[in-house]
Amino acid sequence: MAFDYGSESLGIRNPFKAEGLLRALRGVVVTLLGIYPLLQVVSLVQQDKTLAWIYAAIGFILLASGLKALGGGLFQMLRFFVGRSVPTSLAPNLSKSERETAQLEKPHYKSIDLEEMLMGRKNKTFVEPVGFISRLVHTLVPKLIFLPYPMRNLAQRFSGALIATVIALVAYALTAFVCLTGLAGNTGEILLPFFSFVLVVYLILSWRSASAVYRQAEKSIETQGNLKLAKIMAFAILAPVLLGLLINYLLQQRDIARFVADLQQSELHSFAVTPQLLLVLLLAAVSGALVFLLLKQRTAQVKAQTKVAEYRANWQENIHPRELFVNIDNIVMANRRYKEIPNRVYRELNPNLNEQSESKGNFSGEMMIETQPAYAPLEHTALFKQLRLWATVLGQVLLLIGPFILFYLLFEARTVLALISEFQAIARPTDAATQQFTVQLFNESQFILSLLFSWLICHSFGRLLQNYCHTFWAELNFDSLLVYLKCEGTYTESKLTTGKGIYDSTASENYVMRSSLTPWVITSRIMSSTFADSGAKNVEHPRHILEMNDNPQEMQAILDDIRSFLSDRETIASIKNQQDLSNTEQIYQINQQSRAMPLTADQASLASPQQDAEASANLPPSTASD
C-alpha cells in the first residue's frame, strides 16, 4: 500500500519504541562481546592458529548477532510512517478514489460476510476452535475466543508446548523407573543418559517451535488437535524402546562392549539432565505466568457485543428513486467522513430500475459504506503495561545469556586445546594416560554440552517472550461507522401543471415521479483490530471486527438528513433569477394594458362570454329588458 501523505495526521504513533530501545541495548552489549575476541586474533595467531580461528569464528558470530539486534532495535525506533489510506479495508474497497490502494489490500472479509453480520447480529470473526488442545485452552479461558487471532494462536502454541513437556516428563519418569529398577537389564545404566539427552533436545525443539509467530497466524486460527497429541505420546513410548534396541545391538559388538566396560569403571560424569529440566520448568512457569496474565488482562476488556441499530418503514414521496441513493452517497454519508478521508465502499451504489411501461415500474438498490476508521487505542491497565514491559525485558535478558555463554566458551576452548596439547606431547602414552585423557575430555565435553543446552533453552524462551510480547505491543484498534442500506419499491409518473389562468399567464408543467419507498437501514459502530509491524507494511495487515455496538443517535441523525432532503425538494419549477422575473413582470404589465384598452366593433363581436356578461351588466335596465 502506497504512503498517501496528508497534512492532518491520523494520530497513530509508533508502538514499538520501548521494545526497540531494549532490543538495541542488547545489540550494543552483544556487539561489544564480539569485538573483544576479534581484537585478540592478531596476538593468538602467533601462539595457536586453531585457537585464533575459534576466537575469530565466535567473534564474527557475536558481532553479526549483535549488529542484527542493534539494527532491528533502531529500525523499530524510527519514524512510523502512516498514510491516509490505512488501515486495511474490511472487504474489497470499491471507492473510485481508492482504486490503486484497493488493489494492494488483502481484506479478511467479503461484502456478503459483512451483510450477514449486520443482518444476523453475529460476528464471523469468532470461529470455533478445532482440535483437543485448542478446545481445552478455550475451555479453561472462555473469553479467549473473543480475542484477535494472533493472541488466540500464541495461547494455543504455548499450551501445546506445555502439554508436550508434561507428557515427555511422564515418559522420562517411566523410563527412569524401568532403568533404575533393573527391569531394562544391563542396558539400563546406559539407556538413561541417552534418553536424558534426547529428552532435553526434544524439549528445546518443542519450545523453539512454540516461540515462532507467523504473519499467517493473523488470518486464521491454528489447529492444535489430536494429531499433535498422538505424536507426543508416540515419541514418549517409542523413544525408550528404540534406544534400548539400538544400545543392545551396539553392546553385542565386542570392541564397543569392552570400551563401554572400561568407561563404566572410570570416573565419568554422566550427562546432568536435572539442571536442564529444572531450567526448562522454571522458564516455562515464569513465561507462562507472564503470558497468561497478559491474556487475562486483555480478555478483561472484551465486550463482544453484536448489536446494531435498525430502521424499516414505507415512504410515499415525489422523488425519482435514483436521487435518493445519490443523496445518501454524496451528501448524507459524505458529511460523516473522518478527517475528510473518503469512505470505504463495500457495496457499490447501483440502483436497478425496472421500467414496466412508460409511466411506471419498480426498483431496488443497496449500498454498504464504512467511514474511515479512527484510531481508538485501548485503555490498558497499569498492571498490563508493567507486565508487558517486564516480559519484554526478561525476553531480552534471556536472549543476552546465550552470547555470554558463547563468550565463556572461549575460555573452555583454551582448556580443551591445552588438554589435547599435553596429551599429544607424550611420546608413548600408556593405557592409563589414554584413559585419563579420554575421561577428562569426556567430562569437559559434557560440561560444554550442558552450557550449549542452557544457551539453547534460554534462547528459546527469550525468543518466545520477545515474539509474544511483540504481539501485545503491536495491537492497534480502530472505531468506525458501518452502514448498510437496502431500498425497494415502485414508482409511477404523473404530470403536474400549475399557473394556468383564463388569460395569458406564466405556467409550469412538470413530470413528477411518485415513489413508494421501503427502506431498510442498518448501522453499527464497530471496533476493529489489526496488528502493526515495523517497515513499509506497518499498518497494512488484515483487520478484524471485535465489537458491534448499536448507535440509535447516529441512525436518527442519518434519517433526519434524508428526511430533510425529501422535505426541501421542489416539485414545481419556479423562477430563480432576477432577469426572468423582470421579463415575466413586463409581460404581465403588457397584458394588463391590453385588457384596459376600449374594444372596437370587430373586437366586441369576438369578445369572450365573460366579457359579454360584463357588458350586459353595465347596460341600463330598460335596455337589458329589451
pLDDT digits (tens, 9 = 90+) for 180-192: 766 555 555 666 7
Q: Which residue has the higher pLDDT, 113 or 517?
A: 113
Around Cβ 625, how many Cβ atoms within 10 Å?
Answer: 7
Query: Taking residues 427-456, what's their average pLDDT?
Result: 78
Higher pLDDT, 505 or 354: 354
Instruction: Decide if pLDDT at 42 tops 60.
Output: yes
Helix axes 226-251, 149-180, angle to 10 degrees: 30
Q: For residue 537, how many other CB atoms are within 10 A of its CB?
A: 14
510 pLDDT higher than 70:
no
pTM, two decimal places: 0.80
The pLDDT value recorded for residue 171 is: 78
- pLDDT over 70, % of the chain: 74
> Looking at residue 391, what is its pLDDT?
95
Q: Which residue has the higher pLDDT, 298 or 598?
A: 298
Between 610 and 252, whose confidence is greater?
252
Collect contacts of 124-130 with beta carbons under 8 A, ≥24 apart: 125/544, 125/545, 125/546, 126/304, 127/220, 127/221, 129/156, 129/221, 130/221, 130/223, 130/225
pLDDT above 60: residue 222: yes
SS3 469: helix
Give me the pLDDT at residue 625, please: 42
Q: Cis ω on the peptide bond leading into residue 598 (within 30° of 0)?
A: no
Q: Read off the pLDDT of residues 525-577 as tens digits, 9 standing for 90 and up.
A: 999 999 988 877 788 888 999 999 999 999 999 988 888 887 766 555 566 66
Least confident of 49-63, 169-183, 596-610: 596-610
458 pLDDT band (50/70/90 cuts)? very high
Dist. CA 38–CA 27, nearest whole Å: 17
User: Alpha-carbon distance 414 to 29, whole Å?
Assistant: 23
What average pLDDT does this structure show over 7-17?
A: 81
User: pLDDT class for 168, splitting at 50, 70, 90?
Assistant: confident
In angstroms, rounded to a whole number, what is the distance separating the alpha carbons of residues 329 and 348?
A: 10
Closest CA to 221 of 305, 124, 289, 299: 124
Provide mean pLDDT across the span 433-437: 72
pLDDT band at 623 (very low <50, low <70, confident <90, very high): very low
pLDDT at 496: 60
Nine cell digits for residue 163? 502439554
Cell numbers for 422, please give them. 599435553
pLDDT-derived band at 622, boundaries 50, 70, 90: very low
pLDDT band of residue 90 (cuts 50, 70, 90) is very high
Provide the grid cell at 320. Answer: 425519482
| Helix 254-265 / helix 226-251 crossing angle, nearest 10 deg | 100
Three-state DSSP at 434 gives: helix
| pLDDT for 624 | 41
Instruction: Give 589 or 381, the one with higher predicted confidence.
Output: 381
The mean pLDDT of the chain is: 80
How would residue 167 be classed by pLDDT, with cut points 50, 70 and 90? confident
Q: What pLDDT does residue 533 have? A: 86
Residues 591-601 have a mean pLDDT of 65
